[in-house]
């Protein structure tokens, strides 16, 4: 088998030496053939898959790497599908990119190919966040869009997200149909380039103001902002696209005292001040924390390189000498509660409002929705499924309030159809100002919510494997869990197993099976629910060799002064689950 694979890889690599590829690419391929067989195999053993979310991979030469050729083939396949789907219509597309190395190069390649296919192309003059790309598609009546980004992945990665005419990442059936068209592009000679440059229109800061003005329109507490307009807000873009727009959005809301981490305002795809540009990680937030402590900030905010995710840290004490980095579930809960509370205070609730969360996001959100008489929807992981629910309710009496996922993504409005770190930062700051005007803080509010709704706590472990062997190992892990699901978790019997790959829920005691309600698309996810309310979810990534384990536990919280005690108890329970599953 190894010999067959090596022969296949060598044959594919030699085609890159002989084909119409640039000389630098050919030189690197030749180097791998002569000197690095492992990297050669990883670079050529398969084609970089255009999955349901687009492309994502390590940059470099080869069919399994992000480069102008794999990006070009994906774009031509997408263009061919657009022409089939929108026959006899003008096709307009929008393109944006983040701060990563080669992002501008890749986005210019995408623009060239779309223009060469006869499309009208809107392209920003420099980097812009993902949510603005989603907004642009809707605002300019585009049929599709592309965001060049690998989100918060390490610097070696880049990626390519494909969007549909509603501003959402593509969903069924378009995702599968696009994948089929991309698969038909088997040679770079099929890619159209170098034509119709006049089809490209450049967007600048004037368009940013259209987006920012819409964000300003979602403010719910202008009086609280005015009362606390000088409160200190620390923000870091982590070398990414939020550098201009987040401070601008905060100023639109009325905040005056915005302090940025100057070293991280520098646009740099090497992310020199952090190991990983991920606001989920406390180490990434260290410089923002240091500035927050120095300045006694009311709130610390961060966005990832493409500006769709947000990180929120709040003071742990009145002296502001310590800050708590909220996890994604806590941020979701606080922002949702704030929106629901203010809609209620302003008399805007009439029973026709709803929120959305993903199946791996805290169940506490369901309790918040119920307490306000608001409907909530569960959906698969991925913001395109939240966008799909919003789309399905367009033109009806139902109103979207907000929705989010545990991985630091939130959307507090519906004129964007992907997670929006820009508007979410503005709403988070407004929520902090509102809490302050109510004589409390966001962290104290969260504790009070735990008393009211129950103390829900979540944990996450990501197991990363490398290359082809890693992908096969993860596949086997899922097979093993399906064949032999755990019987107990922390001494509590597993009572229900949900398998989203077949949309089936099994009652363990009776063996009775029934369909999973409300979910219409299959996904490679398993959930184990125990007698004491614990939920463990297992989900492989669709774009990289990684598998995630989500843990959800809960306990009653009798009073705020019991917070530390119950918090420690829940932490210990999550750690025990990790050990039981062999993850520590």
- Residues known to be catalytic: 151
Round to whole Å and give the CA distance between 458 and 415: 30
> What is the maximal distance between C-alpha atoms in the chain?
71
- Confirm if 562 and 573 have CB atoms less than 8 A apart: no
Joined together, the tokens standing for residue 311 give 């990180």
Question: E strand or H helix at 162, and its extent?
Answer: strand 157-164
- Nearest-5° Cα angle at 50, 43 to 75: 100
Three-state DSSP class for residue 356? strand
Cα separation of 525 and 286, whole Å?
A: 34
- Please identify which residue in the block is written with the tokens 């368009």: 207
Q: Cα Rg for the chain, rounded, in angstroms?
A: 24
How far apart CA 148 and CA 511 sit, in angstroms, is: 46
Token reading at 202: 């450049």
Cβ atoms of 51 and 543 closer than 8 Å: yes
Residue environment code for 474-493, b if the CB has 16+ CB neighbours within 10 A, otherwise e: beeebeebeeebeeebbeee
The 3-state DSSP class for residue 444 equals helix
Helices (H), 86-221: 103-116, 130-139, 174-183, 205-216
Go through 219-245 and write b for each residue having 16 or more CB atoms within 10 A of its CB, e for each that does not. Answer: bbbeebbeebeebbbbbbbbbbbbbbb
Angle at 342 between CA 310 and CA 309, to 5 degrees: 10
DSSP three-state, residue 562: helix
In whole angstroms, give the CA distance from residue 372 to residue 358.
19
Q: What are phi and psi of 207, to 5 degrees?
A: -70, -30
DSSP letter at 192 equals -
On the CB side of 69, CA atoms within 13 Å amount to 20
């Amino acid at each position: 088998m190894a010999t067959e694979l090596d022969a296949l890889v060598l044959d594919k690599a030699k085609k890159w030496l002989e084909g119409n590829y640039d000389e630098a690419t050919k030189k690197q391929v030749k180097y791998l053939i002569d000197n690095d067989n492992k990297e050669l195999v990883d670079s050529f053993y398969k084609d970089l898959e255009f999955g349901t979310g687009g492309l994502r991979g390590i940059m470099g030469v080869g069919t399994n790497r992000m480069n102008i050729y794999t990006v070009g083939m994906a774009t031509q396949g997408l263009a061919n599908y657009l022409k089939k789907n929108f026959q006899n219509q003008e096709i307009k597309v929008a393109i944006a990119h983040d701060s990563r190395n080669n992002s501008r190069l890749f986005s210019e390649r995408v623009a060239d190919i779309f223009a060469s296919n006869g499309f009208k192309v809107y392209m920003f003059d420099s980097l812009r966040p993902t949510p603005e790309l989603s907004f642009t598609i809707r605002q300019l009546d585009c049929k599709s869009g592309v965001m060049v980004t690998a989100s918060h992945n390490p610097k070696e990665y880049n990626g390519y997200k494909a969007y549909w005419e509603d501003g959402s990442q593509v969903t069924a059936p378009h995702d599968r149909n696009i994948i089929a068209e991309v698969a038909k592009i088997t040679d770079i000679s099929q890619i159209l380039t170098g034509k119709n440059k006049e089809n490209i229109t450049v967007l600048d800061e004037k368009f940013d103001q259209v987006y920012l003005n819409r964000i300003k329109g979602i403010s719910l507490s202008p009086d609280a902002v005015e009362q606390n307009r000088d409160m200190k807000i620390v923000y870091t873009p982590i070398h990414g696209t939020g550098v201009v727009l987040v401070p601008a959005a905060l100023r639109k809301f009325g905040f005056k005292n915005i302090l940025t981490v100057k070293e991280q305002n520098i646009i740099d795809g090497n992310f020199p001040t952090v190991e990983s540009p991920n606001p989920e990680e406390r180490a990434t937030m260290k410089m923002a924390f240091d500035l927050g402590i120095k300045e006694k900030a009311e709130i610390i905010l961060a966005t990832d390189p493409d500006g769709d995710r947000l990180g929120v840290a709040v003071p742990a004490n009145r002296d502001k000498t310590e800050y708590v980095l909220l996890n994604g579930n806590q941020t979701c809960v606080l922002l949702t509660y704030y929106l629901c509370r203010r809609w209620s205070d302003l008399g805007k609730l009439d029973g026709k409002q709803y929120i959305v969360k993903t199946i791996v996001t805290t169940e506490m959100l369901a309790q918040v929705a119920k307490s306000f008489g608001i409907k909530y929807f569960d959906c698969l992981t991925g913001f395109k499924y939240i966008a799909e629910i919003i789309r399905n309710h367009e033109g009806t009496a139902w109103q979207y309030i907000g929705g989010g996922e545990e991985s630091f993504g939130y959307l507090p409005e519906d004129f964007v159809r992907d997670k929006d770190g820009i508007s979410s930062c503005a709403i988070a700051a407004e929520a902090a100002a509102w809490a302050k005007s109510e004589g409390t803080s966001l962290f104290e509010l969260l504790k009070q919510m735990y008393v009211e709704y129950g103390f829900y706590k979540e944990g996450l472990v990501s197991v990363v494997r490398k290359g082809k062997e890693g992908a096969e190992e993860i596949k086997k892990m899922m097979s093993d869990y399906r064949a032999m699901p755990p019987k107990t978790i922390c001494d509590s019997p597993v009572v229900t197993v949900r398998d989203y790959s077949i949309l089936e829920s099994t009652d363990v005691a009776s063996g009775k099976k029934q369909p999973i309600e409300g979910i219409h698309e299959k996904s490679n996810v398993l959930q184990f629910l125990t007698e004491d309310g614990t939920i463990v979810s297992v989900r492989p990534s669709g774009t990289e060799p990684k598998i995630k384990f989500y843990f959800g536990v809960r306990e009653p919280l009798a009073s705020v002064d019991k917070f530390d005690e119950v918090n420690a108890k829940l932490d210990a329970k999550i750690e025990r689950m990790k050990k039981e599953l062999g993850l520590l």
